[in-house]
């Protein structure tokens, strides 16, 4: 069994853009988990593995990463700093034993820093402080330390001091050991030297060291008495006292550096080992009865106890359905049967993995202190207790308040419906305080949250992260366009306005592509009629036009373009000329190729009592639905059908009327299908009218 004293379950949290993810990346680099450090601004970081995170350089979900440092196992969670994902921080803090609060050297204690700090206080999580980005313009370590005192009401215990500032920041002084760590200009974390303290810093270092020692020995009466009598405590005694004070939240060891420049991180990792608690050193989780009252029993952190774990995050990713759990007691082996004490159902553990952000290692066993993910669990939600079927227990649950406000939303842009549905589904799974339902009468999407600000933030997420603009009212359907015929055509772009002009001629074939192929391009040009250096420009021009079709401006699906000939001018031809030619060619040829409007078809699953089956099927047929299957059950019938999304608005109200309130349905996107002529004409006319109205 692993030595639990060598475990550290920690979170990294802060205000957005304070450098949490970069700090995590440096930890992984130093501990050997990654060989090439990913940069947030390059979209390569290991823990920001969602596409939106990589694009924006922010952390949205809490990514779990395991690594090792000086014989200790770190389970690290890189939590989001945006207030819109505060629930992620709350959930993470519930299962962590310690944390690193990252503060920007120039931004200082920012709003989300306060929120995270308050949550950490509520969860009684021991913390280190890392003042980051001291190489940034306007950085001031000492100002941030004062803000920690005044804004957070916390007691920072300064452990390192910066050598230089902004562009001249070169390293840190370890106040405890009186050593200076100076990095060279290579940017490599291992390229540092240990030197004497700069002469102009000696007095400051001694002053901070005296304050550190006085604060530390408060944790040991005998040591404090000896210190008052003039006896200098050993470094090991000071560390022991700092560890105790950190665990008891008496103070917070404070470090400084630049994660991006790889300066100061080793001392932070050493501090995680030296000062943050092991799982066995934190108060054990209380066990609750059915009414939610404490029983007096606790989940003792030991592999010898019966299995007890808390599910703290549910996530669907490219690996499948993952249930993140913190194991508090006992062991878990692959193939074990465990009980969900909330549902009363048992499940067999088929696979469990140790997460490495966007990678994972298969596990055969895990034990108390581990943070792992179980693959493919059913009927498990955030806050559920998983335990030994022979010893049913309930851990203190995560309690999320009920929503108090709601708004109706619809996608503003033409492609918004599909994206909105997918995005909201993900957001609901991620945030238990955010709920969605379909209005019984109007069929509108209703978002429910904790307040006006909460919902404003959710709308902002839909806009920023998922690219969906929202307005109140009936949702607009996400139609698409495509072509139905192959066309061979030619287009010439020629512009003469004095001096060098523009010239590009392309001969091409455009035809329907394979379903779900998107846009494909190939060149079969032989000879130099269209020089090879201009082929990418032709492809770029065609591809850019796929965003807006010629019928009603909807995105275009499944088109294949072949460039087979053309012409160029030695002086006037350029990449931009051929790109413009390709755009003109698209507009010219798409109508000739039988442009067609596509509508989203939804996979609809309806449950109805037996005596209303005929009404339900008849109504679905009137909505242009295609019945796919019927399944008779004990209390009713499930009807499965493919139905155009545009026909499903207000369906919940109709269904409840038909079934006296007993019918239920679910709906998900299935595929795109050609619109009937009358529907296509109506949609195109509505879009045209809307655009005309927008011009006025």
Binding residues for GTP: 14-21, 78-82, 132-135
Long-range contacts of 567-571 (CB under 8 A, 24+ apart): 567/492, 567/505, 567/529, 567/530, 568/503, 568/504, 568/505, 568/529, 568/530, 568/531, 568/534, 569/501, 569/503, 571/500, 571/501
What is the signed CA dihedral for 65, 75, 129, 124, rounded to 10 degrees? Answer: 130
- Tell me the torsion sign for CA atoms 671, 674, 679, 685: positive
DSSP 8-state symbol, 263 = B
CA gap 192, 416 in Å, rounded: 52
Taking the C-alpha atoms of residue 266 and residue 132, their distance in angstroms, rounded to an integer, is 13
Q: Tokens 């939590």 sit at which residue?
A: 79
- What gap in Å lies between CA 252 and CA 367, rounded to an integer? 29
What are residue 411's DSSP bridge partners?
470
Phi, psi of 463 (to 5 degrees): -75, -50
β-pair partners for 11: 77, 99
Dist. CA 660–CA 608, nearest whole Å: 10
Q: Which residues are annotated as a binding site?
A: 14-21, 78-82, 132-135
CA 553 to chain centre: 31
Helix or strand holding residue 427 (H, E): helix 416-430
How many angstroms separate the CA atoms of 347 and 337, rounded?
5
Which residues, 6+ apart, have CB-to-CB distance to 585 below 8 Å?
Answer: 489, 491, 506, 508, 510, 541, 542
Per the rule left: phi > 0, alpha: psi between -120 and 50, beta: everything else, 335 is left
Q: How far apart are the first and last CA of the chain?
A: 74
């Amino acid at each position: 069994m692993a030595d639990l004293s060598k475990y550290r379950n920690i979170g990294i949290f802060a205000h957005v853009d304070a450098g949490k993810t970069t700090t995590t990346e440096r930890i992984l680099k130093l501990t050997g988990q990654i060989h090439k450090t990913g940069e947030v601004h390059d979209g390569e970081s290991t823990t920001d593995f969602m596409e939106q995170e990589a694009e924006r350089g922010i952390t949205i979900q809490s990514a779990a990463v395991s690594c090792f440092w000086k014989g200790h196992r770190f389970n690290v969670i890189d939590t989001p700093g945006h207030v819109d994902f505060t629930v992620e921080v709350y959930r993470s803090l519930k299962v962590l034993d310690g944390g690193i609060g990252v503060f920007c050297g120039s931004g200082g204690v920012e709003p989300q820093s306060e929120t995270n700090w308050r949550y950490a206080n509520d969860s009684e999580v021991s913390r280190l402080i890392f003042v980051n980005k001291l190489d940034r313009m306007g950085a001031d370590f000492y100002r941030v330390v004062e803000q920690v005192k005044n804004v957070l009401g916390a007691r920072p215990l300064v452990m390192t001091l910066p050598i230089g500032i902004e562009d001249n920041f070169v390293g840190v002084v370890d106040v405890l050991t009186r050593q200076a760590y100076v990095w060279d200009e290579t940017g490599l974390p291992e390229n540092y030297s240990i030197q004497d303290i700069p002469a102009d810093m000696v007095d400051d270092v001694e002053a901070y060291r005296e304050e550190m020692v006085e604060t530390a020995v408060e944790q040991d009466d005998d040591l404090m008495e000896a210190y008052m009598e003039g006896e200098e405590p050993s470094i090991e005694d000071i560390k022991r006292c700092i560890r105790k004070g950190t665990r008891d939240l008496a103070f917070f060891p404070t470090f400084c550096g630049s994660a991006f420049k790889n300066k100061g991180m080793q001392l932070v990792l050493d501090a995680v080992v030296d000062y943050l608690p092991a799982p066995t050193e934190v108060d054990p989780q209380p066990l609750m009865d059915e009414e939610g009252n404490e029983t007096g029993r606790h989940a003792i952190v030991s592999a010898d106890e019966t299995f007890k774990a808390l599910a703290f995050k549910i996530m669907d990713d490219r690996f499948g359905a993952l249930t993140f759990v913190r194991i508090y007691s006992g062991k878990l082996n692959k193939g074990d049967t465990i009980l969900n004490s909330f549902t009363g159902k048992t499940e067999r553990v088929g696979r469990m993995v140790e997460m490495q952000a966007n990678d994972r290692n298969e596990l055969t066993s895990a034990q108390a202190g581990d943070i792992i993910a179980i693959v493919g669990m059913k009927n498990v939600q955030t806050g559920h207790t998983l335990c030994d079927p022979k010893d049913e227990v309930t851990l203190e649950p995560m309690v999320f308040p009920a929503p108090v406000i709601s708004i109706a939303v619809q996608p503003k842009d033409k492609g918004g419906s599909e994206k909105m549905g997918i995005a909201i589904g993900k957001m609901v799974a991620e945030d238990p305080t955010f709920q969605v339902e379909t209005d019984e009468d109007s069929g509108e999407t209703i978002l429910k949250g904790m307040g006006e600000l909460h919902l404003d933030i959710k709308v902002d997420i839909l806009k920023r992260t998922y690219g969906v603009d929202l307005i109140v009212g009936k949702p607009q359907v996400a139609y698409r366009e495509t072509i139905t015929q192959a066309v061979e055509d030619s287009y010439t772009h020629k512009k003469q306005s004095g001096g060098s002009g523009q010239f590009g001629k392309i001969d091409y074939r455009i035809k329907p592509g394979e379903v779900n192929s998107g846009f494909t391009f190939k060149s079969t040009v032989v000879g130099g009629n269209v020089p090879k250096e201009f082929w990418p420009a032709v492809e770029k021009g065609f591809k850019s036009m796929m965003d807006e079709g010629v019928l009603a401006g909807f995105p275009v699906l499944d088109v294949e373009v072949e460039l087979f000939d053309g012409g160029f001018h030695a002086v006037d031809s350029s990449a931009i000329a051929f790109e413009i030619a390709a755009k003109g060619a698209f507009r010219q040829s798409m109508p000739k190729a039988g442009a067609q409007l596509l509508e989203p078809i939804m996979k609809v699953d309806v449950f109805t009592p037996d005596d209303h089956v005929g009404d339900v099927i008849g109504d679905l047929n009137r909505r242009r639905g295609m019945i796919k299957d019927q399944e008779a059950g004990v209390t009713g019938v499930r009807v499965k059908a493919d139905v155009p999304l545009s026909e499903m608005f207000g369906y919940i109200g109709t269904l409840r009327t038909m079934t006296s309130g007993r019918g239920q349905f679910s709906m998900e996107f299935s595929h795109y299908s050609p619109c009937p002529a009358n529907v296509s004409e109506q949609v195109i006319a509505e879009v045209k009218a809307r655009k005309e109205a927008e011009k006025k």
